[in-house]
Structure 1
Amino acid sequence: MAKARSPVTRNSCTVFFLIIAIWNNTQPSEETGSSAILSNHFLNKVPKNLPAETTVLDLSQNNISELQISDFSSILRLQVLNLSRNVIRELDFSVFQYNGNLEHLDLSHNRLQTLSCHAMLSLLRLDLTYNSYTDMPICSKTDMPKLQYLGLSAKRLQGSDLSALGHLQLDTLFLSLEDLSEYKAASITVFNIKTIQIVFHPRRDFHILTDLELSGTESLELFNIHDEQVSELRMFLLKLSRSGRLLNLTLNKMQSSWEDFIDVLQAAWGTTVEHLVISNAAWMDATNKNNFNHTKTSLKSLEIKDTVIVTIKADPQYMYRIFSEMNITALTISGAKLIHMLCPSKPSHFTYLCFSYNTLTDTVFENCNNLTLLETLILSGNQLTRLMKMSLMARHMKSLKHLDLSHNLLQHEVHEKRCQWGENLVELNLSSNVLSDSVFHCLPVNIQKLDLQNNQISSIPNMAVELRALQELNLASNRLTDLPGCGQFRSLRLLNTETNSIFTPTSQFYQTCQSIREVKAEHNPFMCSCEIREFIDIRKQGLVVLVGWPESYLCEYPEDIRGLQLQDFHVSELVCNTTLLVAVVLVITVVLAAIISFLCIYLDIPWYLKMMWQWTQVKHRIWKNNPEEVFDNMEFHAFISYSKHDSDWVKNVLIPNLEKEDGSIRICQHERNFIAGKSIVENIIDCIEKSYRSIFVLSPNFVQSEWCHYELYFAHHKLFQENNNSLILLLLEPIPPYIIPAKYYKLKALMAKRTYLEWPTEKSKQGLFWANLRAAIHIRLPENE
């Protein structure tokens, strides 16, 4: 059954892929080569068909038991090789003799028992941990002159075993002693290694710490410090010389009581250590013991992570006071379930404080005037509720520049008192709270970077606080429906609005966001219409960088193009530009009108239409008035009234074309049908009464004739008396209105109100003219006796 491993070894695959990423980023693009990831492929041997250009090869988590020179001789460019979690028992480094570029080799979690060294001049990182070695497998400096990282583990250890490591000049030495079963006490002197990581056996105490002597080491990380080793750790810290070089100390998975924890912390206080990290320690119940000596120390930062500190039976004031009175510059207590933190009793040295993921409330640092040097304060992941209270807290921190209040329950109401922030605050993180639009009424005026991600903001109020210095604004994961303007943020250069409900940018965005250079608006339900074109154009013009373009910018509406990338959406300029559309329509209308007018004039279409209309109206009247009806008193189809100056046209053209040889139409003409002995007036009236229609041949001569006027008068009188359409006006020649005498007002009225026939001079039109005229006077009259 596999044994439980420390966090360092459990994440070996993650570390390997991190190495790959770092390696890829540091290589020239033309020499990148290729990667072969064959992890967990149930392989028993190294594949023989690997590409010659392979530079990264991952064979982890397979069943490979043996390695041969031929396995890697064809991939001469190999630089990263992961063989962890296989079943390899023996290894001779000569199998890599043709891989002169190999830099990273991971052989952890195998069954190696023997190791034969061979020159590997390019190797930088070698991991041999969690194998079956009895003694530490160590090669000489000449075999691996460039080695920077070395991971070792064994079942048996003597202090002298590590003496050879002093010649390697490593950057990092990782010693896994979890499987250690035998230890021969001796002085363990480690030379020229900058960073040492040691994982102890979780239940055994071999007193290794008391034998450990550091020389040249700057960072020490210890895992699995349990109760029996705490006192050794304290003694180890006490013997560290002030002239030593140890600067960074990390204690991971330490199990101790509160008293032992304070003793270790006090011991580290007097060393050369500048940065102390205590991570994943056991649950500790603080007591009333408060004899911590805050004397002069080299320590600059203390970080306590994922270590629950509570006060079940004691007064919490004692525990708070230990931390608040520390004369260091940086303090982190994260994930410790703290419910409060005291304000220092005197001006503090703190420039950095982090109390994230505790249970602090709005009363933290209330009216605290002794944090005047504090520049960074992190209170994320607590129980803070009122933004206005946080502003009053920050007001007393005169040097505060960076404030993180994310992952709380903060909200702000417009009717609350005015917020008062410190003047030097330039970065504020309010993400993951319950803030609404009203937050823009409670912001520091000199802020430069503002994070409001994951809140409930739907818009930016017009009356919001003007933030002239703001350069970066994060509004991701809110409720925005359009891309906001920058009216209150004239210096804004970066805007993040991804994952909102934005359909389209507003006109204010284009008008007010002149300084913006980068926009993140991915994953929004964009409406692909005319309004989105300008948003796409600003990217094409290079005015703004759209992060994630084009993959994360898709059309959501209308549904028929859902999923289409914005860069592939096209719509005509004519459809979107109303002014241009109106202008084009007007131009087309004018052109069509001009063409129609030209055709009408050239082809005389109005005349034909007018004549067709008249013919249709006559046919309608005949049908309506029963054309078979016989008028007993009618003798003529039409009476013709004309000027004597137009008699030639009437006698030679009009009458012959109306009176055909069949005698179907009879015309009344005064020269031949007036009865002698009667007055002219009596003859005119008699002819009009006996005629079905009265045809008036109009011309400039007609308006000058007195008798013509009488005839028109009587015909007009009959028109009103019998309520019929007996008048037919025939325009022989155009009559200018100004030549019609004023006394002939009836003629003017008739010409203005009634439709008249025009005599066409073109012969092609005369046939239709005669047809219309005959149709107008056609009626069945009694046969002459």
Structure 2
Amino acid sequence: MRYLTNIYVLTCAFTFTLWNNIQPTVEDEFIANYSSSLLTNVPKTIPVCTQVLDLSHNRISGLSISEFIHLSDLQVLNLSHNLMTVLDFSVFIFNENLEYLDLSHNNISKVSCLTLASLRHLDLSFNKFTALPICQEFGNMFHLEYLGLSATMVRTSDFRYIKHLQLHTVFLNLGNFSLYEPQSLTVLTTRNLHIAFAANQNFIFSLLYDGMCISENLKIVNLRYTLSYKDFPSPSLMLLKKIKTTTLTLEAVDLQWAIILQIFMLIWCSPVEHLTVRNLTFRGPLEELTEYAFQPLLSSVEQLISLDGSMKALTLEHVRNKVYYFNQEILYRQFSEMNIANLTIADAYMPHMLCPNRTSSFQYLNFSHNALTDELFQNCGTLADLKLLILQRNKFESLRKVSFMTSRMKSLTYLDMSNNLLRHDGAGVQCQWAESLAELDLSSNQLVDAVFECLPANIQKLSLQNNHISNVPSRVAELKSLQELNLASNRLADLPGCGGFTSLQFLNVEMNSILTPSANFFQSCPRVRELQAGHNPFQCSCELQAFIQLERRSGGKLFGWPAAYVCEYPEGLRGTELKDFHLSPLACNTTLLLVTALLLTLLLVAAVAFLCIYLDVPWYVRMTWQWTQTKRRAWHNPPADQEAILQFHAFISYSERDSLWVKNELIPNLEREEGSVQLCQHERNFIPGKSIVENIINCIEKSYRSIFVLSPNFVQSEWCHYELYFAHHKLFSENSNSLILILLEPIPPYLIPARYHKLKALMAKRTYMEWPKERSKRPLFWANLRAAISINLPISSEANE
């Protein structure tokens, strides 16, 4: 039943935590949150079906029955942090299902009571009550488990109405306290008692003693006593027989050493098993407490702790020492000789701790956040039962000395040396670790690659996070038992191999400098079940493709995929998840890329060769070369040898097979009249000694027109092609209209070779003259031809002579 009660209280607390994130709108039909809405009255729009209602952190000053009468299903009501001064429980008379009622942090000073039979949780703490507001009707709340109260005085009769109730937790807020009648708390029956005293008041220690007599778990906040320790009321020996507390927590303690030691002596002899003291400040006025006066107290404690007691665990956290004149070694000796299993002294600026003189019962030691150095527990053989040792946030520097410290701890299984100044230079000095050590935390130190030369042989879990490790040496001592390795936040450039870690199952290499992790990791580490490699500056390139494929084959072994695996380089891909990064196989396979490039080159060469042959490109190259050479020679000839003026009306280009028509028809008809037309014919006008190509070029340049006699024979003549090429070149170079095409016989397109593409273009774009078969049409043909070549040629020097 009590276990179920604990679950209920925790559930209610969790529910209130969630309320803080809900807006003043009803997101669930059973939950209504109006917290921090500046309300001065209870809203009238609360849904009838509401079961959980939060009205905390508002300005509500009063309640009425009409505001809650329609909320018959209400179970949880939070009215904390408001401005109410008077509370009348009759307001909730119609809320029969109400179980949780929080009215803390108001200004309530007066209460009118009414039995709320279903109530389990009632909190009236942090109000302005003078006396405890415990009405007679509270005694009828048989389901009440949590009761929070506040007052400035506590009297013996205050708890008489509820002494028969089996309360789970009682919280007393005693701010501005003025009166406590001894043994007033002893009538209560509760498992957990929490007392919060005012920070600026002297604590009444009879509250502590009475509280220890009624509850198993006692927590007290703000123990402060500024009077002389000589006036401190010492507890009686009879008190020891009445103490029920097994777990005691003291927070914000500011006492003189003598008082602390008296309380400690009481606790040591009591049934208390777990003592926790947080924010402890111990002091001693120099005029009253010198080292000589302090020594007898310490001696008494030293004798006392040698006896067997109930204490199992002592925790001292955030300790501040304001006693300056006493031998601290005596204090360290007392702590080291304690016959307890668990000891925690954290954040106490402790510079040293002595090794116990006899075999110690310590199984757990936590000395974190102190000033301990490498001299701790050197050559100490009395901690044979120690299993867990936490020394984080100290000033250890030598990893080798740390290993020697553990060498004689035969039962040590866990060691935390994180956040120190540890180094290891690997100078060849062997390390000696406890053979039983299974888990070691060396994170946040100054360790480098040499650390792998100084590790426990039987280690199973190893954390080297946040160090300066850049590589895991391939020849490291075999750690056959290592199952978990944390190398996050180091300087690794690649995934480590598992040559020396044959049993490795979990590896963390997050936040390193890994650009392109190796793709054969799981092959070298077959037993790894989880790899954490996210949050590295991945370079998304071909080398990374294999790692991405590795994730698909690993079956979910990459922890944090895909959100933690993002491209960092190149700049254009920054922020792209690796799962969205793809490159074609051709771009990433060098062999395939070379083969493809070679094939494409061969295809390109073959295509170019085919086109050259098909389009007779070599022929055009030769002709261009001939033209260029002829022009070059003409440019370098002296001006006297140049005859750049026109000498002929037309240059005739024809096939030798068509020469009869040219000689019998064309030339006679055009040169019929003397001096009318001057034709350039190769048989009579080519200059002996010059090349044919040079003669062709010269004749074309000295002629006003070029007449081409087209026929099937023409397209079969290579020299005709030369003449057509050079005439076409002149057409474009001089922007002239010098070509005349005479179609002597029809030419089927299929007879025109591919290299005669210029002829095809000319016949398609230019008007040509057809030789008429009818004689009646021939005079018109000759008239048109003469008109086309009609021009007054300039008189040359030869003519003048």
Same fold (TM over 0.5): yes
User: 1:435 and 1:106, CA in 2 relative to 1: closer, same or farther beyond 3 A?
Assistant: farther
Q: Tell me the residue number matched to 2:193.
A: 196
Q: Deviations over 1:178-217 (max 9, x none)?
A: 2333334455325542211123455356564387276773
Q: Deviations over 1:661-683 (max 9, x none)?
A: 4794559xxxxxxxxxxxxxxxx
User: 1:248 Cα deviation (Å)?
Assistant: 1.0
Kept in 2, the 8 Å contact 1:484–1:508? The answer is: no
In the TM superposition, 1:287-366 aligns within 5 A as: 287-288=294-295, 289-291=298-300, 292=302, 293=304, 294-309=306-321, 312-366=324-378
Between stretches 514-523 and 428-437, larger displacement belongs to: 514-523
In the TM superposition, 1:365-380 aligns within 5 A as: 365-380=377-392
User: 1:38 Cα deviation (Å)?
Assistant: 5.4
Counterpart AA for 1:276: L
User: 1:265 Cα deviation (Å)?
Assistant: 2.0
User: 1:604 Cα deviation (Å)?
Assistant: 9.4
Structure 1 unaligned segments of length 5 or more: list them: 1-13, 26-30, 630-652, 668-688, 695-728, 731-761, 772-785
User: 1:501 and 1:326, CA in 2 relative to 1: closer, same or farther beyond 3 A?
Assistant: same
Kept in 2, the 8 Å contact 1:445–1:466? The answer is: yes
- Identical-residue share of aligned pairs (%): 41
Q: Tell me the residue number matched to 2:86.
A: 90
Q: Distance in 2 between matches of 1:218 and 1:555?
A: 57
> Which of 545, 553, 558 is equivalent to 2:570?
558
**2:158 aligned with 1:161, yes or no?**
yes
Kept in 1, the 8 Å contact 2:615–2:755? The answer is: no
Q: Tell me the residue number matched to 1:451.
A: 463
User: 1:418 Cα deviation (Å)?
Assistant: 1.9
Matched position secondary structure for 1:403: strand
Q: Distance in 1 between matches of 2:755 and 2:487?
A: 83
**2:482 aligned with 1:470, yes or no?**
yes
Counterpart AA for 1:337: Y
User: 1:374 and 1:570, CA in 2 relative to 1: closer, same or farther beyond 3 A?
Assistant: same
Q: Deviations over 1:153-173 (max 9, x none)?
A: 122322232244444423221
Counterpart AA for 2:299: N
Kept in 2, the 8 Å contact 1:190–1:213? The answer is: no
Q: Distance in 2 between matches of 1:233 and 1:539?
A: 70
Matched position secondary structure for 1:85: coil
User: 1:283 and 1:72, CA in 2 relative to 1: closer, same or farther beyond 3 A?
Assistant: same
User: 1:73 and 1:473, CA in 2 relative to 1: closer, same or farther beyond 3 A?
Assistant: farther
Q: Tell me the residue number matched to 1:637.
A: none
Between stretches 93-102 and 508-517, larger displacement belongs to: 93-102
> Which of 540, 555, 565 is equivalent to 1:543?
555
User: 1:542 and 1:66, CA in 2 relative to 1: closer, same or farther beyond 3 A?
Assistant: farther
Q: Tell me the residue number matched to 2:430.
A: 418
User: 1:544 and 1:68, CA in 2 relative to 1: closer, same or farther beyond 3 A?
Assistant: farther
**2:129 aligned with 1:133, yes or no?**
yes
User: 1:282 Cα deviation (Å)?
Assistant: 2.0
User: 1:60 Cα deviation (Å)?
Assistant: 3.6
Q: Tell me the residue number matched to 2:620.
A: 612
Counterpart AA for 2:620: M
**2:451 aligned with 1:439, yes or no?**
yes
User: 1:538 and 1:351, CA in 2 relative to 1: closer, same or farther beyond 3 A?
Assistant: same
Structure 2 unaligned segments of length 5 or more: list them: 1-9, 22-26, 285-290, 638-653, 668-679, 694-716, 719-749, 760-801
**2:239 aligned with 1:239, yes or no?**
yes
Q: Deviations over 1:566-614 (max 9, x none)?
A: 55545445434445545655666677778x49x94xx994473344344
Between stretches 269-278 and 343-352, larger displacement belongs to: 269-278
Q: Distance in 2 between matches of 1:485 and 1:52?
A: 66
Q: Tell me the residue number matched to 2:753.
A: 765
In the TM superposition, 1:717-728 aligns within 5 A as: none
User: 1:545 and 1:296, CA in 2 relative to 1: closer, same or farther beyond 3 A?
Assistant: same
Kept in 1, the 8 Å contact 2:260–2:282? The answer is: no
In the TM superposition, 1:528-677 aligns within 5 A as: 528-533=540-545, 535=547, 543-544=555-556, 553-579=565-591, 581-582=593-594, 596=607, 600=610, 605-606=613-614, 608-623=616-631, 656=657, 661=663, 664-665=681-682
Matched position secondary structure for 2:281: coil
Number of aligned residues: 643
Q: Tell me the residue number matched to 2:280.
A: 281
User: 1:226 Cα deviation (Å)?
Assistant: 3.6
Q: Tell me the residue number matched to 1:702.
A: none
Counterpart AA for 2:278: S
User: 1:359 and 1:386, CA in 2 relative to 1: closer, same or farther beyond 3 A?
Assistant: same
User: 1:691 Cα deviation (Å)?
Assistant: 10
User: 1:341 and 1:610, CA in 2 relative to 1: closer, same or farther beyond 3 A?
Assistant: same
Counterpart AA for 2:60: I
Q: Distance in 2 between matches of 1:100 and 1:566?
A: 59
Q: Distance in 1 between matches of 2:31 and 2:507?
A: 37
Q: Tell me the residue number matched to 2:146.
A: 149
Q: Distance in 2 between matches of 1:536 and 1:150?
A: 59
Kept in 1, the 8 Å contact 2:396–2:422? The answer is: yes
Kept in 1, the 8 Å contact 2:159–2:184? The answer is: no
> Which of 199, 206, 209 is equivalent to 2:207?
209
Matched position secondary structure for 2:400: helix
Q: Deviations over 1:278-324 (max 9, x none)?
A: 22222347744323221121111111222235774333332122111
Matched position secondary structure for 1:280: strand
User: 1:63 and 1:429, CA in 2 relative to 1: closer, same or farther beyond 3 A?
Assistant: same
Q: What is the RMSD computed on CA atoms of the aligned residues?
A: 4.6
TM-score (structure 2 length as normaliser): 0.68
> Which of 378, 392, 398 is equivalent to 2:410?
398
Matched position secondary structure for 2:616: helix
Kept in 1, the 8 Å contact 2:20–2:35? The answer is: no
Q: Tell me the residue number matched to 1:108.
A: 104
User: 1:342 Cα deviation (Å)?
Assistant: 1.0
Counterpart AA for 2:218: L
Q: Tell me the residue number matched to 1:222.
A: 220
Q: Tell me the residue number matched to 1:250.
A: 249
> Which of 13, 37, 44 is equivalent to 2:40?
44
Kept in 2, the 8 Å contact 1:388–1:416? The answer is: no
Q: Distance in 2 between matches of 1:434 and 1:90?
A: 62
User: 1:181 and 1:545, CA in 2 relative to 1: closer, same or farther beyond 3 A?
Assistant: farther
User: 1:89 and 1:566, CA in 2 relative to 1: closer, same or farther beyond 3 A?
Assistant: farther
User: 1:503 and 1:213, CA in 2 relative to 1: closer, same or farther beyond 3 A?
Assistant: closer
Q: Distance in 2 between matches of 1:300 and 1:474?
A: 33
User: 1:561 and 1:143, CA in 2 relative to 1: closer, same or farther beyond 3 A?
Assistant: farther
User: 1:398 Cα deviation (Å)?
Assistant: 1.1
User: 1:611 and 1:399, CA in 2 relative to 1: closer, same or farther beyond 3 A?
Assistant: same
Q: Deviations over 1:51-103 (max 9, x none)?
A: 78877655443322123456567878876554322211233445556767766
User: 1:769 and 1:562, CA in 2 relative to 1: closer, same or farther beyond 3 A?
Assistant: closer
Counterpart AA for 1:387: L
Matched position secondary structure for 2:276: strand
Kept in 1, the 8 Å contact 2:240–2:266? The answer is: no
User: 1:77 and 1:413, CA in 2 relative to 1: closer, same or farther beyond 3 A?
Assistant: farther
User: 1:539 and 1:692, CA in 2 relative to 1: closer, same or farther beyond 3 A?
Assistant: closer
Kept in 1, the 8 Å contact 2:519–2:546? The answer is: no
Q: Tell me the residue number matched to 2:506.
A: 494
User: 1:374 Cα deviation (Å)?
Assistant: 0.4
Counterpart AA for 2:39: L
Kept in 2, the 8 Å contact 1:310–1:337? The answer is: no
User: 1:368 Cα deviation (Å)?
Assistant: 0.3
Counterpart AA for 1:183: Y
User: 1:51 and 1:611, CA in 2 relative to 1: closer, same or farther beyond 3 A?
Assistant: farther
